[in-house]
Each structure stands twice: as structure tokens, then as C-alpha cells.
Structure 1
Amino acid sequence: MRLPKEQAASFISARGQRNRTQIRFSLLKIFFYFSALIGNLITFFTSGIFGDMLKSRTVYTTVILSVALLYLFFAPILRNPNQIYFAPGGDGLKAYYGALYHLKYDSDAFRMNGMNYPYGENIFFTDNQPMVVNTIKFISNHFFDISGYTVAIINLLMLFSFLLAAVFLCLIFTELGTSWWFATLAAVGITFLSPQIGRLGGHLALSYAVWLPLMIWLLIRFDRNKSFLFSALIGFVTFLAAGMHMYFFALFGFLFLFYWGRVLFTRQIPVKDYRWILHVFIQMILPFLVIQLLVNLTDPVTDRTTHPWGFFTYRANPATVLLPLHKPYANFLSSVKAFQNFDWEAYAFIGMVALIGMIWGLFRMYKRIRNKQKWYMITDRPLINALFWASVASLLVSFSFPFNLGLKFLLDYMGPIQQLRVLSRFAWLFYYMLNIVVFYGLFLIFSKSKWMKILTASAFVFLFFDAWLNVKLYNDRMVNRIPELEDRQNLSPENEWIKKIDVSDFQAILPLPYFHIGSENVWLDPKCDVAKQSYIVSLKTGLPSMAVMLSRTSISQTYKSLELVSNPVAPYRILEEFPSQKPLLLLVDNCSELSDNEKRLISLSEKIWEGPKFNLHRLPLKPLRNLALEGQKQFEQEMEFIHAGQLDSVGCIVYESFDKIIYKEPLYGKGAVWSAARFWRSLFDNNLTGVKAGDKCELLFWVHNFEKDLMGRTVFEFTQKNGDQVVNYQLGQFQHFFCSFSGDWMRIRIPFEVRSENEKISLSIRNKELKRYPVVVDELIVRRKSGF
């Protein structure tokens, strides 16, 4: 008997709900069983192979307490890990999308083709956790398919990494001779206060808290027995961590530098005994070379930026590391102007216990200096001292020291280090090492008196209070669901569109408003909810997106993509690189932030579905080619009028050809103006005639070699004056004001409204980052707002 359509849908929905409930409980049981298994394995290996260095209950109690807190804080996630996304948008949701698309649709393990169509991207530049995702892909392709549980696997692994971090912190404290209960409490508290908790809602690959405690413990163990087998283990961990994110490799670098500096300085291995070079090669250099080899062999792109933006922006501050900003017990700090407006990346609070311990340590250090004692011996463990000072060096770098002392030029000699633009993350190593040192010191004084016991107990209470505040700041934000993706049978009204289109009719998705983040030369943020909707449509259809939210994207590929949403004055280059002549699927978000150029693309298309959140349109390639040819024709006609002196015909008020300054490759005529980028160069400074207040005008000029790295970050200063009074001032970058492309030239457009008659306007440009590289400008015009 056939069920009516409504009953059939209800039956399917109920059955699906039962299946999802069973899956949820299965995944939850797997998490708990896996945690117990790991506890047993760690206990076995650390006590059985490396010596009887701890009792089983130390690891067991750490695992039990960590699992209990994970469930307390993240129960909704643990109960339903495959339907919850830690981030509702931004980098976090992009990371989920990239992983899911790569698993489902990509055939190459090292290419992610879900974005940047038609080029795709190397997986190491996608923040998609390649080590995790490709392992899932390998298991699914060769053994049994687990790709349907990708979200759950990623979520549980990220949470599980905090359990492992607690275990290895516990092992570190055990190495230092603390009691089992002390090691457990300190390790778990430090873990849940970690600044990496904050990365669970955004930069997912950076949230794996296990790497730093693991490497610290491995170096402690290696220091006992400097075997090449242990070096191989350290090298393997370095490779895995670097494969997840290169920031971990950089943080390891501080540990290696100070560790091996101590080994050689104390002559544990003589400098002439070249075994130490082999150890360093295995532990650090070889993993780096393997990662670079994998990237170079699988990446054809040669024009990625060498100077990502933010090196002096995303840095830590002593206040964001040492002070309890935004904590309920220190609200008064928020009223201090100097402690306001820090970027969220800057925060890596060490905790009140560590802060008080650090102050006491500084006092003791001062006394040792006065007594001419070894001030740098902060503990009775020389190795811990060396690793602590490694973390201090890392902390200083997080403050952008020494580059913020007028030594920016050093960056030119730092090679790949420049790629690590978010310096604040280097404070994480200091967080772990300072807390290890402080709580080790507490253990040493714990048994000295009743008051010391009270002090230690109070310290643990405050540690867990700070940890609770830290987790509560983020855990509620991490429970995000996407009903459209949960509806795998496409029965909901939001997914009705999938039945209205034939996916095979299209080659790619062009989301509008368009967004492009990754080249570090142009930064177009997603507007409205277009990024999320484009991810959903892409995952449902398998169609790649022309939008970009990646890292270090090819500069030439970037500008070819941007031509489609610019004012065309030449054929679109990217159309010739499409592998198909099929139409594009326009995904138009239902918002009011579309540009005029984007609206024009929509006018060329045919609407095929209209929904509450977005509309879908069919855009054939032929209208795009015709639009570009028409734009080219109109632009050439306009320039003919201007060159003939008929400025009024095109509404032109000012024209400057710069032909008096000879340049070998001008856009038109004989010359163009140019100067070394690091100096301010005035392009125009004169009064406007024939205009009146309220006229809408625009200043346009062309820039040569726009695909040169950093050219898009050239700064301009535009000023309008009425007499000596400044009535309008704009400070902007080329990347936000481009409007057209032709050959090696990019046109910049600065719109403005005339404020008074006989108004004086001035324009200057500068790019300190390009230094002596010439910035070349040609064909400057000021006109009333119209035409090309």
C-alpha cells in the first residue's frame, strides 16, 4: 500500500530522527570508550616503555576529570556532534565547508576545488586540517566509509585534544615529582584555562591544545635518553603539528632553540660531536623539509604574497596576557582607556594564579640579582628553566619585539617567518610554561605549613574559577546548527531549490555579493549571509564556488576573478580559463548590499528560483563576453573624446595625461608619473572649476603593474578644501577602490561630493611596504559621476 505524500514524509522524518538519535548515542559512547582506551595506552607506554615514572591512577584520574569537565561544558556537542558546528560563520564555518567538500567531491588529496574556481587551491592553504581530513578520506576510500561523520570526527578530535593536553601536562608534573592528585588538578585546570579554547569557534586547526604540552614532555623525556628513536618520535610529532598549522612548528622552534642551546652550552653533547646536528635535523629540519616538499610538489602557484597583512596588528599586549581583562572580578579594568579596543586575537590571559606567581617570582629574581646569584635559575630544574626562557622569548615576539623598536627592516631577512602574521599566538607557549613553573613552585611549598596548604587550595579554586570563566565565554557560541545540511533528503522549504535546477547544467557558483579573502592584496569581506548560503549550495550540488576565503591565494588568480565584478573595459581573462562553456549559477543573497556591477550581472541572467534567503539565476557566458566587449568599446570612445580635448562630451572636469614625464610603458600617450613607493607622491592639487556644491563626482586614475605583490595595499590620501578649511578627508587603499582592469593596468575610482564652488582637491599616494619599487600612475581624470 502506498502512503500519501505527507504521511510518507512524516514517516521518513521520524525514521531519520530515530537513526540520528542512535548515531548520537553511538558517537558519545565511542568518545568515552576512546578516552578510556587512550588513558590505558598512555599509562602503558609511559610506565611500561619509558620507565616507572608515574602511577596508573595519575593518568586515569586526569582522564576521568577531563572527560567530566568536557561533558559538563560541552554536553550539547557531545550528545549531537555530527550536527553541530562550532562557528556560525567566518573562518570556522569555512573550515567545515572545505573539509566536507574535499571529502565528498575532490579526487586529489592535495587539492581543494570547492573555492577559487576555476583554479582551486592547495589544501595546505585552506585551513581544512589536511592531516585529519585526508586520513578520513583514506579510510573511507580503502576500508569503510566514515565521511558521513566528518563533522563529528572533527568536533570530537578538537575536544579530545584538550583531554590529551591535560594528560601530557599531568605527565610533565609527574616528571617534576609532584603527587598524583596535584598533577591531575594542575593539569586539568591549566588545560581548560588555555587560550586555545577561544580558537574552537574560529581557527579550528589552531585549537588542538595537545601539541605544546606534548612537545614539552617529549623534550623532558628526550633529555634523559638522547636516542635517535626518540628524536624520530619528536620529528614525527613536529611533522603532524606543522601539517595541522605552521604556527605550531614556529612555537616548537623556540623550544628547540633553547633546548639545544642549553645542551651545547652545558656540554651534554660536545659541539664537535656532530650527533647533535643529526638530532636537530631529525627533530626539526626534516619535518619542515617534508612539509615544504609536499607543498612544492603539489602547488603550481608561484605568486603568493610574501608579506601577509597584520604583522603589527594581530599582536599581543602585556595587558591582554597579564591582566584579567573582561573578568567579572576585574571589571574596573575595562574602564581604563589603555585597556580598551584590543583585537580578540591578542588575548592569552595567563590566569590570576600564574600572575601572582609571576609577581612573586620577579620579586625573588630581584633579590637574587642584588645578592649576585644566578637570577635566571627560576626553579631547581635546569631544563625547565631553559624551556621557560624559550617561552619568554616567544612572548616577546608576540609583542612584535624587536620589530616594534624601529627594526621593521629585519622582516625583509626573515623569509618564511613573515608568513606568521598573527604574532599574538606566540604568547601561548608562555602561558603553558609559566603555569607549569608556578604550580611546580606551589607544590614545593605545599607541605611546609598549614598556611601553605591553604594557599595551594585557594590557588586551585581560583585556577578552576578562571578556567570556568574561560570556557563559558565560548561554549554557548559553539552550538550552531545548519538545518539545510541536516536535511539530507531535501524535504524542507529551504532546500526546495535543489528540485528546481539541473546541477549538470552549470559549471560553478558565483555568489553575490562577491567575497574574496586570501590574497592579502585585496580583502572583500562577505556581506549579508552570502558565504554560508554559498557553502550550503556548493555542498548540496557539488558545484565549486568562484568566491574565496582561503590563505595566500595567487595574486594573478585573484585579479582575474575580481574582473567579473568590476566595470569591464577589456575582455574578461578568466572566461578563457574556464574548462567548460556551461552557464554560471548566480547565488544572489536577499540583501541590499549589491554593487552596481553585481546588479548588472544579475540583469544579464535568468532567475530560476526565488527563496526567503537567496535567489538563483542562470548566467550564460555569452552575455558576459558581450558585456566586456561593449564596455571596452565605450571606454575607448570615451578616451578618444578626452584625448581630442572634448572633455564636456563625457562630463570630464579635469584631465591629466602626465605626458610631460616620459615613461616607457604608458597606458596612453608618451608618459606617466612615477616615484619610489615609500615616499608620498602628489598626483593632483588644484581647484575644480565648473562645479557647484552637491555635484557627485569621481576621481579616476590608472596604476601600472597592479599584480605586483603589495600594490593593492598602496595608500592614498584624498583631501577637499574650501579655502584653508578641510571639508572632507579620505585615507584609503587601492584594494577597496579598484573599478576596472586592462592589461597590466588597474583603474582606481574615488567618489566624492563637491562641498563648495571653486573647491580645491588634492591626491597623494604612498606604499611604505614596497619601499623603492616604483608606483606608476597614468590618465588621471575628474568627472561628474557617469559613464566608464
Structure 2
Amino acid sequence: MFLKKTNSSYIAILLLVIGYVFFDYIFHFNSSVITLGGDGLKNYYCFLNHAMHGYGFHYTGMHYPFGDHVIYTDNEPLFSVPLSYLVHHFHLGIGFVNFIFFESIALSYFLASYYCFLFLNEYKVPKWLSTIAALLIVLLSPQLLRTQAHYGLSFAHFIPMWLYFILNYCKTSKKKYLLYLLLLNFTASFLHLYFAGLLLLMSLSFALVYYFLIKENKIRTLLAINTIPVLVLGFVKGFLYFTDPILDRPTNPGGHLEYKTNFIDLIADPFSTIIDFFQNKGLIAHINDVTEGLCYLGIIPIVSLVFLAFYYSFQMLIHKKFASFRNIETAFFLSALLLLLFAMGLHLSIGIDRLFHYAPFLKQFRSLGRFSWYFYYVATLLAVVGISKIAQNQWVSKKVSTILLLLGCIVWLVDANGRILYMKQNAATYNSNYNYFHRLGEPSWESFLNAKGYSKKDFQCIAAVPFIHVGSDKIWREGVVTNTWMLSKNAIIGYELGLPMMNALLARASWSQSFEQVKFDAGYFVDHTLLKKLPNTKSILVLRLKEENIITPDQQGLLNACDSLGFFDEVYVYSLSVATYLQQQQKVIDSCIRNSNAQNPFYYLNEFDQASAKGIHGKAFAWQDYTKDTVLARISVKQLDTTVLNEFSIWIDYTKDNLKYPYYAICFYNSNDEQIQQVDVNAKTADDSWNGWYRAKAFFSVPSSTTYVLIKIMPSDCNNFIAMDRLEIRPIKYNRVDSLNATYFILNNHILSNDYRR
């Protein structure tokens, strides 16, 4: 398992090359931030924030006041949790935390190359070839691209180490390799849960093939190999059972039927200059993006595998040389092929998706394409083994075979060079990203707050308007103009001030908590249960990007209730007193009830009384399979106020077992039946909910030439719900109150407790 002295010169080469590619990780770890946006910044922020400001297994940097379990935050709990204790008790600085973050990734790629080298040595591959091949295999690994955002998934040493330990255990039956496998599975599972699933399926697929191929000691061997990942996964589930109180995480997360490996992912790479040449000649379809299923093998491994297939077929058919395929190499390859077919979703196309019924936890590993990584390492390593074996059989002279192998390595290096250049080009921005993240040379947020008469201790959290919340799968809230960039700003500002953010970009967030949180900027007519359960009475630091100039009336109402602190660091800054806001909410509700107008002529309400489903009160429109646009309502322009802003809203009884949600369209037509405008309404942006229903909305003005309006539900792969009720259009300057039952009433199509009705 440990470094062998006889390999010292080759180890030095591995270290030098990995050191060159990961130079900034190794030497500039305390002046680098890899990226400033999306998952990349979020994952780094989660790691850094938990290590520096958190403690234990509960993450508090996002999703305030709830936080989340560290396992679901992509913050590498294997490192971040111990670091949180060390920082707390021994007052370690950010330099040590960054050292662990960056050096662990770089070390992983050295270990990956070293164990690829050892694996090839087991087959007597020349050490010079083992060294070059090991490096190229690792540098073309699909995991290398994860180093730019999904850091927990970027650790590349697990599969090569697993292959080496399995190979040696099957050859020697030494129990030390089982111990190594146990440690490998345990550490992998607490770096990222995906590794627990990947290593389990690797073991199971290997066991299945091994059972039918190998005759000797197979039961004992397979029991030993498969007990380890099952025990580790059982330990992880038990650990979560006792440490994670959330019971309503998504059980059918998005993508588990979609993010697959396609054939093009095996033979084309967006970074390869060689592939780019073939694409320009029209020989390969253009591939521009890095997909979840990317598993590019490399030109030389692909050619080698094709050659080996023809070579052994020729040996069998012409020379009648039937090589024994009852060996561990065949077991590796066929088990990897099984997992590749799984990654390609073959089980879905032939109706074996019942697998998810019997093993529902597999749906949590929603990117099937990532399971192709096992095939990548097995195929490339065995390609080198096979070619080396043929070369050593001296069917040509040793000199010629060496030259051919060197030429192959050169082509392979050219192929991999695109990945190396990609890493180096990105590394050129690491230092400027670091300066931006830590705001070096800029006035501090504390000094800005002090100048306004505040201190960071006056605030309990920060929150963005428009509110950003991604992670529950059922809800997806982000900025209209800048998407999730404000969340990056929140991370930068929150880390500097040591304040958690109410916003979230998390995986598998609780549905009930998410529905509570997104009410934050939903206006005065929602039940702000979240604000009522905050742990203290401190204010909330509200931030709005200057680019986010499309603000709804509800959001503007929230901002109007805040104290404006001015403009600083690209954002408008506000202080929200929660108690004052809740008092103002009650005053607004009281006023609206007093001034409500049930006789307003410009009003439309459809309660679907003739429909068949159970509604909020009475009947509701039931779900059906929409293959075309379905008109829910045709409204004459005479029923609409064309002089003011109107609000469309509809209540949806959402499905509780999947992420799906309906799409609507408000379509405006002129007297010639020509559509002149369309307003899209995505229920995933809903910001109000009640008893298993949520409320989608949109604000719009009526175009001047409108004669009538059609409300449509649009066909979509995501379209699903149980029922929908209370489709309402009203001018926002008018208020309407309706009774619902003894406990609730309806104000402007929001459902509120009668406690608000005074």
C-alpha cells in the first residue's frame, strides 16, 4: 500500500507532473479561490464556512435558521467536521483550512496516478510505460473536471486504489487488503455520498461477474469484498438516522432518469484538440459542454481496445487459440461494462427501472453518468495491459515496439493536453478570485455598517431579494437578471461578517422548510411562520444586487418596510426589523380587509366547480396527461383592468413523490385572434403554500390591443400535479376577502389563519 523505494525515480516523475498540473493547489493554496459563481463557490464557501464558523455535523452557513446536515452540503465532511473542532478549540486560521482543502485534492491525483502505476506493474508493464500511462489516465479522468466546482467528487484515488486492493486480495487472500478496502470505503463515503453508492455498485457488479467466471474460493472472496461496502453504507444510514432529523427530503430528486452517459461521451471530449480536428471534418458530432456522463477514454485507449478486440478475435478464429477468459481481468472488464450500461440507463430502456422500487436509495444518486467512471479506469488500464502484453510477445522487434509505444504515448499526451491547458487557464484566475472573495484592498463591511450606526452583531443573518432558494427540487427561486449570482455575493459578504444566509443552494433540502423560507419576500399576505420562529429579535441584513431591477410589488413592499443603508459593494443594503415588519403586516391586512371590494368589476375567479378533483373548498381541476396546450380559461378584456398592474395566481395540490410542477401561460390576443404577448408562469417559483398546496403567481399589464386572454397549461416533461384550484386575476390595487372555513380565510387569493382577521 505504501510507497516502494524501488520505484523512487518513477514516483518522482509522478510527483513532478502532478505538481505541475496542480501547481496553484500546492503552492498558492492560501491565495486561491477556484471560481466565484455557481456550485464552485457554493461548495468552497460551505467547506470554508463550516470549518471556520461551524461546529460538528450540523451546517449553519445557509438555509437559516434551519441549516442542514453536513452530508447534504457538499462540504467534504471527512475534512470540514474535524477542522471545525480544531479551529474552535485551537484557534487555527484560514491558512490551515485552505491547506487541507487544496492539498487533499492534489494529493488525491498523485495517489490515483501512483496506484494506476502499481496496478500496471502487477501485469509486468514496463515501468516507463506504466509511469506515462498512469499520468495520462489520471489527467484524462472525468473527475479532473470536477476540480473546478464539485470538489468532493474530484477525488480521483478511490477507483485506482480499489482496483489495486481487489486485484491483490483475489491473488493473495491477504486480509490487510480487506482492511485497506474498509478504510477506503469509509473515507470515500464521508467525502461525498456518491462514492458510497459508486463503490457499492462496483463491488456488486464485480461480484456478479466473478461468481460466474472464477471457480476457486469465490464464495469466501465475494462475501469478504461485498460485506465492506454494505457495512459502510449501513453505517452511513445509521449515522444519518441518529443525526439527521429531517424526514421530508426529496425522495425522487431530479435527473436520476436523465443525467446519463451517451455514446458520444465515450469518444469525444470538448477539450481535446484531436477530437476538435475530427469534429471540424464532420467525422464526430460536435460536443461543446461537459456533461454529467462524460467518460472520454482517449484516442489511444479507444484505438487500443478496438485493436485488442480484433487481435484476440483473430487469434481465436484463425489460429484457434482460445485464451482463457476465466480470469480477474475479464471480471474487471465485464463488471465495468455492466456499470457503464447502468450509467447509460439501459436498465430504464428495457424496463428494469423497478430496481429503484426495491432499492430506492439509488435515486439519491441522480447523475447516473457518474457511474461510468469505473469503466473509464478499467478500460484504460486494461488497454495498456493488453497492448503491453502483445508488444512483449515480440511479434515485432523490441526496438520497433518501443517506438510504436512511444508514438502512442505522444498522441495520448497531445489528446490530454487540452485538459492540462484547461486547468492552467483556470488557474490564471485563482488569485484574482481570491482577492475578490476576500475583498482585499476594499473597505470592510464592518466599517460600512459602523458608518451607518450599525454593527454586524446587530444582525442575525443576511437574505437576498429577490429571494434565492435552490435545492428542494420542488422550489427553484433565483434572480430574474443574475440567476444565482446574488448567492455568491451573500457567501462573500456572509463569510466576512460571520453571518449565515437565509438563502440556500443545497441538495435535498427539506420541503417543509423550503416552503417556509421562500415566503420571505412573498409580501404581506402570507403567513410568515419562518419570521415568527427566528431564534432572536435581531434584524436581517437584506441585500439586492444593482442589476436586479425587476422587483415584484410583494418584494418592493418588503424593501419599503426596511431601513435603507445605501449602496455598497455592488448591492443595495437594507436593515429589516422582523418585529416591525410583522406589525406592519398586520396593519396592511387590517386595512385591506376594511377596504376590500367584493363587487370589483375587474376580477376573474375560476374555482373549477364542475371539475372532478378535491379542491381547497369544493371541487378542483384534476391532473391529466398534457400532450398539447390546454385552455383553462378564456377571459374577455372587459373583465380585466387595462390601466394597472394585475396579478395572476393559482393554487396547486402538488405531487409529494416527485419534483414535477406545472407550467402556465397567460396569452393575449387581438381582435384578429393573433397572439400579441405571452407571460409564462412556472409553478416552481411559487412563494406561498398551505396544507400541501402551493400558489403560483405572476404580475402583468394588459397590452393595449388585447381583445381576450387565454390561460393555458403548457405541455412539459415536468408537468405534474394532483389538482389545481382558485385561478384568480385581480388588479393589485383592489383587495378581495373570502371566507374559507372556521379556521382560515382568503385575502387576495392567499390563505391565512383567522388569527390575522381582527
Would the aligned equivalents of 2:159 and 2:374 in 1 still touch at CA under 8 Å? yes
Structure 1 residue 283: Cα displacement:
1.5
Would the aligned equivalents of 1:264 and 1:270 in 2 still touch at CA under 8 Å? no
- The size of the alignment, in residue pairs, is 718
- 1:243-266: per-residue Cα shift (whole Å, max 9, x none)? 112222233234312332344335
Q: 2:423 aligns with which of 460, 474, 477?
A: 474
Corresponding residue SS for 2:477: coil
The aligned counterpart of 1:15 is none
Q: 1:655 aligns with which of 601, 605, 608?
A: 605
The aligned counterpart of 1:48 is none
Q: Which moved more, 1:548-557 or 1:94-103?
A: 94-103
- 1:689-735: per-residue Cα shift (whole Å, max 9, x none)? 42799888767343344483536633446655666766566776410
Would the aligned equivalents of 1:519 and 1:555 in 2 still touch at CA under 8 Å? yes
Would the aligned equivalents of 1:348 and 1:431 in 2 still touch at CA under 8 Å? yes
Corresponding residue SS for 2:728: strand
Would the aligned equivalents of 1:569 and 1:741 in 2 still touch at CA under 8 Å? no
- 1:74-109: per-residue Cα shift (whole Å, max 9, x none)? 4344332112012222212112211222122223x1
Letter in structure 2 aligned against 1:42: F
Structure 1 residue 557: Cα displacement:
0.5
- Equivalence map 1:316-355=2 (5 Å): 316-334=261-279, 338-340=285-287, 342=289, 344-355=291-302
Report whether the alignment pairs 1:533 with 2:483. Answer: no
Would the aligned equivalents of 2:445 and 2:493 in 1 still touch at CA under 8 Å? no
Would the aligned equivalents of 1:700 and 1:747 in 2 still touch at CA under 8 Å? no
Give the Cα–Cα distance (whole angstroms) in 1 for the partners of residues 424 and 416 of structure 2: 12
Give the Cα–Cα distance (whole angstroms) in 2 for the partners of residues 97 and 63 of structure 1: 34
Q: 2:194 aligns with which of 229, 247, 269?
A: 247
Relative distance call for 1:662 and 1:183 in structure 2 (3 A) is closer
The aligned counterpart of 1:553 is 509
Q: Which moved more, 1:227-236 or 1:755-764?
A: 755-764
Structure 1 residue 768: Cα displacement:
6.8
Letter in structure 2 aligned against 1:306: T
The aligned counterpart of 2:583 is 626
Relative distance call for 1:462 and 1:755 in structure 2 (3 A) is farther
- Equivalence map 1:199-278=2 (5 Å): 199-266=146-213, 268=215, 275=220, 278=223
Give the Cα–Cα distance (whole angstroms) in 2 for the partners of residues 623 and 101 of structure 1: 30
Structure 1 residue 629: Cα displacement:
3.1
Structure 1 residue 472: Cα displacement:
1.2
Would the aligned equivalents of 2:116 and 2:134 in 1 still touch at CA under 8 Å? yes
Give the Cα–Cα distance (whole angstroms) in 1 for the partners of residues 348 and 679 of structure 2: 29
Give the Cα–Cα distance (whole angstroms) in 1 for the partners of residues 189 and 388 of structure 2: 34
Would the aligned equivalents of 1:235 and 1:286 in 2 still touch at CA under 8 Å? no
Would the aligned equivalents of 1:513 and 1:593 in 2 still touch at CA under 8 Å? no
Would the aligned equivalents of 2:62 and 2:502 in 1 still touch at CA under 8 Å? yes
The aligned counterpart of 1:581 is 537
Structure 2: gaps (5+ residues):
735-747, 749-758
Would the aligned equivalents of 2:641 and 2:731 in 1 still touch at CA under 8 Å? no
Report whether the alignment pairs 1:43 with 2:43. Answer: no
Would the aligned equivalents of 2:207 and 2:222 in 1 still touch at CA under 8 Å? no
The aligned counterpart of 1:279 is 224
Give the Cα–Cα distance (whole angstroms) in 1 for the partners of residues 495 and 321 of structure 2: 61
- Equivalence map 1:353-368=2 (5 Å): 353-364=300-311, 367=314
Report whether the alignment pairs 1:764 with 2:713. Answer: yes
Report whether the alignment pairs 1:603 with 2:560. Answer: yes
Give the Cα–Cα distance (whole angstroms) in 1 for the partners of residues 519 and 181 of structure 2: 47
Q: 2:98 aligns with which of 126, 144, 151?
A: 151
The aligned counterpart of 2:37 is 89
Report whether the alignment pairs 1:188 with 2:135. Answer: yes
Letter in structure 2 aligned against 1:746: Y
Give the Cα–Cα distance (whole angstroms) in 1 for the partners of residues 136 and 489 of structure 2: 39
Structure 1: gaps (5+ residues):
1-40, 45-55
Corresponding residue SS for 1:482: helix
Give the Cα–Cα distance (whole angstroms) in 2 for the partners of residues 368 and 678 of structure 1: 56
Give the Cα–Cα distance (whole angstroms) in 2 for the partners of residues 366 and 730 of structure 1: 61
Corresponding residue SS for 2:722: strand
The aligned counterpart of 1:308 is 253
Relative distance call for 1:584 and 1:195 in structure 2 (3 A) is same
Corresponding residue SS for 1:402: helix
Give the Cα–Cα distance (whole angstroms) in 2 for the partners of residues 443 and 729 of structure 1: 63
Would the aligned equivalents of 1:721 and 1:728 in 2 still touch at CA under 8 Å? yes
Report whether the alignment pairs 1:700 with 2:653. Answer: no
- Equivalence map 1:102-113=2 (5 Å): 102-107=50-55, 109-113=56-60
Would the aligned equivalents of 1:115 and 1:545 in 2 still touch at CA under 8 Å? yes
Structure 1 residue 464: Cα displacement:
2.0
Structure 1 residue 155: Cα displacement:
0.7
Letter in structure 1 aligned against 2:609: D
Letter in structure 2 aligned against 1:577: K
Would the aligned equivalents of 2:565 and 2:574 in 1 still touch at CA under 8 Å? yes
Would the aligned equivalents of 1:559 and 1:707 in 2 still touch at CA under 8 Å? no
Q: 1:459 aligns with which of 408, 418, 421?
A: 408
Report whether the alignment pairs 1:590 with 2:546. Answer: yes
Would the aligned equivalents of 1:700 and 1:782 in 2 still touch at CA under 8 Å? yes
Report whether the alignment pairs 1:71 with 2:19. Answer: yes
Report whether the alignment pairs 1:506 with 2:459. Answer: yes
The aligned counterpart of 2:238 is 293
The aligned counterpart of 1:442 is 387
Q: Which moved more, 1:60-69 or 1:126-135?
A: 60-69
Letter in structure 2 aligned against 1:735: K
Would the aligned equivalents of 1:567 and 1:740 in 2 still touch at CA under 8 Å? no
Report whether the alignment pairs 1:522 with 2:479. Answer: no
Corresponding residue SS for 2:488: helix
- 1:102-156: per-residue Cα shift (whole Å, max 9, x none)? 122223x110101101101000000000001123334445678365421122111
Would the aligned equivalents of 1:321 and 1:427 in 2 still touch at CA under 8 Å? no
Corresponding residue SS for 2:30: coil
Report whether the alignment pairs 1:497 with 2:448. Answer: yes
Q: 1:100 aligns with which of 30, 48, 70?
A: 48
Report whether the alignment pairs 1:179 with 2:179. Answer: no
- 1:338-381: per-residue Cα shift (whole Å, max 9, x none)? 53465543433211101211222343466578679899x7x978
Letter in structure 2 aligned against 1:99: F
Relative distance call for 1:492 and 1:632 in structure 2 (3 A) is closer
- 1:410-437: per-residue Cα shift (whole Å, max 9, x none)? 5444401111112222222222111111
Give the Cα–Cα distance (whole angstroms) in 2 for the partners of residues 382 and 415 of structure 1: 33
Would the aligned equivalents of 1:351 and 1:463 in 2 still touch at CA under 8 Å? yes
Relative distance call for 1:170 and 1:754 in structure 2 (3 A) is same
Q: Which moved more, 1:536-545 or 1:261-270?
A: 261-270
The aligned counterpart of 1:684 is 632
Letter in structure 1 aligned against 2:578: L
Report whether the alignment pairs 1:167 with 2:114. Answer: yes
Letter in structure 2 aligned against 1:158: I
Corresponding residue SS for 1:306: coil
Give the Cα–Cα distance (whole angstroms) in 2 for the partners of residues 539 and 84 of structure 1: 16
Letter in structure 2 aligned against 1:43: L
Structure 1 residue 325: Cα displacement:
4.2
Give the Cα–Cα distance (whole angstroms) in 1 for the partners of residues 529 and 98 of structure 2: 37
Relative distance call for 1:552 and 1:676 in structure 2 (3 A) is same
- 1:213-243: per-residue Cα shift (whole Å, max 9, x none)? 0111110011023344432331221111111
Q: 1:747 aligns with which of 686, 695, 710?
A: 695
Q: Which structure has more helix as a fraction of its residues?
A: 1
Corresponding residue SS for 1:672: strand
Would the aligned equivalents of 1:484 and 1:492 in 2 still touch at CA under 8 Å? no
Would the aligned equivalents of 2:270 and 2:289 in 1 still touch at CA under 8 Å? no
CA RMSD of aligned residues (A): 3.5
The aligned counterpart of 2:741 is none
- 1:542-573: per-residue Cα shift (whole Å, max 9, x none)? 22110101110001110100001223423201
The aligned counterpart of 1:483 is 435
Q: Which moved more, 1:166-175 or 1:255-264?
A: 255-264
Q: Which moved more, 1:237-246 or 1:140-149?
A: 140-149
Corresponding residue SS for 2:415: helix
Would the aligned equivalents of 2:446 and 2:456 in 1 still touch at CA under 8 Å? no
